[in-house]
Amino acid sequence: MTIQDLKDQKLIIFECISGSKAYGLDLPTSDTDIKGVFVLPQDMFYGLEYIPQVSDASNDTVYYELGRFVELLYKNNPNILEMLNSPSKGILHKDPLFDLLQPKMFLSKQCKDTFAGYAMTQIRKARGLNKKIVNPIPKEKKTVLHFCYVIKGQGAIPLLQWLKEQKLEQQNCGLVNIPHMRDIYGLYYDKNQEYGFKGIVRNKTVDTILLSSIPKGLKPLATLSFNKDGYKKYCKDYKEYWDWVDKRNDARYQNTLSHGKNYDSKNMMHTFRLLCMAEEILSQHKIIVHRPNRAELLAIRAGDFEYDDLIKKAELKIQNIEQLYSSCTLPEISNKTGIEAILVKIRKKWYLNKNSQT
C-alpha cells in the first residue's frame, strides 16, 4: 500500500505539517514534513496483513494506521503526541471522528522518560560527537609497537623511541614472559639472527606481541611492558571513530564545524526543545508544539552558545524536570481501558460510514 493508495481510497483520517515548520523553527531551506493517520479498509484490518505504517522513500511523509497511532499515543511517544496537539494552522485534514482522541486522555508521567529521557540520550550523543570532533583519530592506525615501553632508569620510554636510540630492529628482538608480572617481558636481541627470534610483532595486523625461545645464559637487553588494555581501548575507539566518519552526514557535519563550537547545533536545538516540553507537560499538563522560545532555540541552532555552557544548562533542566515529576499530578500511566474503548468506537463508526457510502 502506498501513500497514493491512501489518498485514492480516502483512508486518511488526519493529516498535518510536522517537524520544524510545526515547531516554528524552520529556515528558508527547511523541508516540509507531513504526518498523518489512516484507517485500513475493513477487510484488510480483519485479515492477516496488518499495515502499521506507510511512508515515502525519504520518510519525510509518514502515515500511521489508527491502531498503531493510538498505541504510540498510549506510550507517550513524543512525535505522536505532537501530532495530536498540532497547531490548527498546521492541520491539513481532520475527520470529525478524530476529535474523539482528546490530548488529556494520553498525557501521563511517562512523558518524563519519553521526552526528557530521549533528550538525555541526545546529550550523551552530543558529548560523543564533541569528543570525536575535538580529538580526531588519524586514519593511519597505530600498531602494538606504539603501546610498548622499555624501562629506563626510574621510568620508561616508548619502545619505538628506544629502538631508534639503540639503532635496533624490532624483528631481531625476542621476548619472554617474566613470571608473576602481567604484560612484562624480558627483551633479548639477536643482531645476527642466530637464534630464530620471532621479533616483537610479525606484521601490522597482529594484535598482540610475540614470544620467542631464548637460549640459556643469554642476558636480556631490556625489560618491556605492553599496555594491552590501552591498545584494546585504542582499537575500539579507532573503529567507532572511522565507522562514524563513514556514516556521518557530511553536509550536516560541515555545518557543525562552520560555527566552530564542536557540536551538532541542530540536534542540540531539538534536545532543548524536548527538555522544555517535558517541563511544560509536568508543570502545565499540556503540550506546546509551536515553540514560544523560538529565538532561544534558533540561537542554539546558530551555534551562539558554547558547548560546555549548553551541557550545564541541560543538566539544570534535567534537575528541574526531576523536581517537577515528584510533585506532578498527572497519572503514572494513561487509562488503557478508556483509550481502547475510544479506539473501537472510532473504528466502528469509520467502517459504518464507509459501508454506508458503498
Closest alpha carbon to 44 in 354, 267, 356, 314: 354
The per-residue pLDDT for 144 is 94
Q: Hey, what's the cell of 6? A: 491512501
Please report where in the chains the cell 540520550 appears, as a residue.
Answer: 121
| Inter-helix orientation angle 66-74/336-357, to 10° | 160
The per-residue pLDDT for 208 is 86
Question: Which SS3 state, helix, strand or coil, does residue 56 take?
Answer: coil
State pLDDT tens for residues 121-152.
877 766 555 566 656 788 889 999 999 999 99
Task: Indicate if the pLDDT at residue 319 is higher than 90.
Answer: yes
The per-residue pLDDT for 11 is 97
Phi, psi of 185 (to 5 degrees): -135, 150
The per-residue pLDDT for 303 is 86
Closest alpha carbon to 289 in 78, 104, 82, 88: 82
Question: Which SS3 state, helix, strand or coil, does residue 340 take?
Answer: helix
As beta bridge partners, residue 37 has 14, 64
Question: Which SS3 state, helix, strand or coil, does residue 203 take?
Answer: coil
Q: Which residues make Cβ contacts (< 8 Å) with residue 349, sequence separation at least 6? A: 97
The per-residue pLDDT for 70 is 98
CA angle 235, 236, 242 (to 5 degrees): 85
Number of helices and strands in the chain (H, E): 14, 10
The per-residue pLDDT for 170 is 94
Instruction: Please give the domain boundaries of the chain with CATH numbers for all domains.
Output: 1-106+334-358 (3.30.460), 109-136+249-330 (no CATH), 144-233 (no CATH)
Q: How far apart (Å, rounded) are the C-alpha atoms in residues 65 and 143?
A: 53
State pLDDT tens for residues 187-213.
999 999 899 999 999 876 567 899 999
Q: How far apart (Å, rounded) are the C-alpha atoms in residues 12 and 330?
A: 31
Closest alpha carbon to 284 in 85, 22, 47: 85
The per-residue pLDDT for 177 is 94
Look up residue 169 and give its amino acid: E
Q: Which residues make Cβ contacts (< 8 Å) with residue 264, sequence separation at least 6? A: 126, 129, 252, 256
The model carries a pTM of: 0.68
State pLDDT tens for residues 69-81.
999 999 999 999 9
As beta bridge partners, residue 175 has 187
Phi, psi of 101 (to 5 degrees): -90, 95
Look up residue 121 and give its amino acid: T
User: Quick one: average pLDDT of 222-251?
Assistant: 85
Q: In this predicted structure, which of 48-52, 171-175, 259-263, 334-338 has the lowest mean pLDDT?
A: 259-263
State pLDDT tens for residues 265-306.
888 899 999 999 999 999 999 999 999 999 999 999 888 888
State pLDDT tens for residues 40-50.
999 999 998 89
User: What is the chain's alpha carbon radius of gyration, rounded to the nearest angstrom?
Assistant: 31
State the chain's mean pLDDT as an integer: 90
Percent above pLDDT 70 for the chain = 92
Q: Hey, what's the cell of 107? A: 498525557
